[in-house]
């Protein structure tokens, strides 16, 4: 899964997204730290990303972009709150990733059907598959 630079870039993107509301809640920090650990990034390096962004690296595969989009959805819903600004920002991030706008909209709509607004990975994948066929 991607280079170390890609992993740092993904984490930087997630940190910036978590701060859309100008704060970083403890639940968001804990989630981001867990993602960092799963990517093989140490706590010290992760904490450094809180102070200074990593350069943006475009994810190579569509699958990597979809996984990153899913992480961002999980991050948005970790505090059980969704604000219009977060939803708009997430939509725009998805567009910049090259994801289909209709798929992004559909994911943002169906998330409300699931407990804690956590879209199961298979549902998310099927939505994107439908838009690529």
Instruction: List per-residue pLDDT tens for the chain, 133 residues long.
Output: 578 999 999 999 999 999 998 889 999 999 999 999 999 999 999 999 999 998 899 888 999 999 999 999 999 988 877 788 999 999 999 999 999 999 999 999 999 999 888 899 999 999 999 987 6
- Per-residue confidence (pLDDT) for residue 23, from 0 to 100: 85
Measured torsion, CA atoms of residues 40, 31, 14, 64, in degrees rounded to the nearest 10: 60
End-to-end CA, the chain: 25
- Per-residue confidence (pLDDT) for residue 73, from 0 to 100: 93
3-state secondary structure of 71: helix
Residue whose structure tokens are 């990597």: 64
Neighbours of 124 (CB within 10 A): 21
- Per-residue confidence (pLDDT) for residue 1, from 0 to 100: 56
- Per-residue confidence (pLDDT) for residue 2, from 0 to 100: 74
Q: Which domains does the chain have, with CATH numbers?
A: 4-132 (1.10.3680)
Q: Measured between alpha carbons, how far is 107 from 9 in angstroms, rounded to an integer?
A: 23
> Positive or negative, the Cα torsion across 121, 100, 73, 80?
negative
- Per-residue confidence (pLDDT) for residue 133, from 0 to 100: 65
DSSP state of 78: T
- Per-residue confidence (pLDDT) for residue 18, from 0 to 100: 93
């Amino acid at each position: 899964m991607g280079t170390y630079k890609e992993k740092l870039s993904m984490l930087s993107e997630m940190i910036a997204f978590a701060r859309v509301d100008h704060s970083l809640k403890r639940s968001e920090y804990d989630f981001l730290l867990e993602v960092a650990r799963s990517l093989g990034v140490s706590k010290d390096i992760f904490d450094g990303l809180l102070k200074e962004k990593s350069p943006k690296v475009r994810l190579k595969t569509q699958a990597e972009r979809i996984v990153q989009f899913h992480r961002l959805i999980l991050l948005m819903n970790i505090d059980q709150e969704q604000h219009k600004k977060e939803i708009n920002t997430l939509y725009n991030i998805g567009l910049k990733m090259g994801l289909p706008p209709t798929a992004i909209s559909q994911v943002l709509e169906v998330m409300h059907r699931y407990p804690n607004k956590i879209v199961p990975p298979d549902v998310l994948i099927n939505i994107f598959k439908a838009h690529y066929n």
